[in-house]
């Protein structure tokens, strides 16, 4: 989600594979969110990436990619599937659905929710045994939501599992002012990553520059019913972001500040 300057170094330092299934989501066309994209593409090419790469972004990004790639003689070893972002579903993978909605910034901008597909319900071995399903490969198929055939009878997953369980939801605001639309969009996210450029006392600057404060981010997380909040995109005016975290925690206790290399465990919701 977004590619600031030096993103390829971060990807390599974290050991993220350069030839894995990848979808890049760009919120808007400001330099701190896109200038690292070209370097990342070049690094992937140098690593001989062969899998297609999906890029979802405002339509104008494609022109920037085409012009800079031509001027800098960038030769890619893989295909880019570019999708202009609009509100609604913008990407689907085997495991996830990605949705977008408009943000409120100084240029065309979007926010994203990455939603994990629902998981099969809890597997009940006793039911499987009662239906004559032998333990092993057939149990595994049923646990993965696939029907099996035993003795000429078809056994469906619903006969040996409970109701489907919801997957995890991660929301990312990009740069934006808070809004009721975003609160609804981020409803019940397990993790929210929100613009927190300014502290509460600098709200006038946030309004002028179309950003959010740490207090506003915390309020959005609270109203959206989120489980955890990560504050990000801090103004360089703050050498220490601890005060922003403290004031956010006064509204939404499950808050941390983003930093390079931060890893956050996202647990499955109950149910």
117 near 163, Cβ under 8 Å? no
133 near 150, Cβ under 8 Å? yes
Joined together, the tokens standing for residue 179 give 């809004």
Joined together, the tokens standing for residue 123 give 């597997």
Catalytic: 32?
A: yes
Selecting among 2, 32, 195, 260, the annotated active-site residue is 32
Residue appearing with tokens 């206790």? 253
E strand or H helix at 150:
strand 148-150
Burial class (CB in 10 A: 0-12, 13-18, 19+), 163: exposed
Q: Which residues contact 196 (CB under 8 A, 6 or more apart)?
A: 212, 213, 214, 217, 231, 232, 233, 234, 244, 248
Write out the catalytic residue numbers: 32
């Amino acid at each position: 989600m977004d590619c600031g300057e030096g993103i390829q170094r971060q990807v390599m330092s974290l050991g993220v594979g350069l030839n894995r299934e990848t979808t890049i989501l760009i919120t808007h066309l400001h330099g701190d969110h896109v200038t690292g994209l070209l370097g990342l593409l070049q690094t992937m090419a140098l690593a001989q990436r062969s899998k297609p790469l999906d890029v979802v972004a405002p339509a104008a990004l494609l022109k920037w990619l085409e012009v800079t790639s031509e001027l800098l003689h960038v030769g890619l070893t893989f295909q880019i599937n570019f999708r202009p972002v609009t509100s609604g579903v913008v990407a689907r993978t085997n495991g996830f659905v990605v949705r977008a909605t408009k943000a409120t910034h100084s240029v065309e901008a979007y926010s994203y929710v990455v939603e994990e597909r629902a998981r099969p319900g809890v597997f009940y071995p006793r039911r499987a045994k009662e239906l004559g399903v032998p333990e092993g490969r057939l149990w595994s198929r049923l646990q993965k939501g696939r029907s099996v055939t035993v003795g000429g009878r078809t056994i469906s997953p619903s006969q040996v599992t409970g109701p489907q369980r919801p997957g995890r939801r991660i929301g990312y605001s990009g740069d934006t002012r808070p809004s009721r639309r975003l609160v609804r969009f981020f409803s019940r996210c397990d993790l929210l990553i929100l613009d927190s450029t300014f502290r509460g006392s600098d709200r006038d600057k946030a309004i002028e520059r179309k950003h959010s404060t740490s207090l506003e981010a915390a309020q959005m997380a609270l109203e959206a019913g989120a489980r955890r909040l990560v504050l990000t995109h801090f103004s360089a005016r703050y050498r220490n972001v601890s005060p922003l975290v403290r004031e956010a925690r006064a509204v939404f206790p499950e808050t941390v500040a983003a930093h390079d290399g931060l890893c956050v465990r996202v647990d499955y919701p109950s149910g």
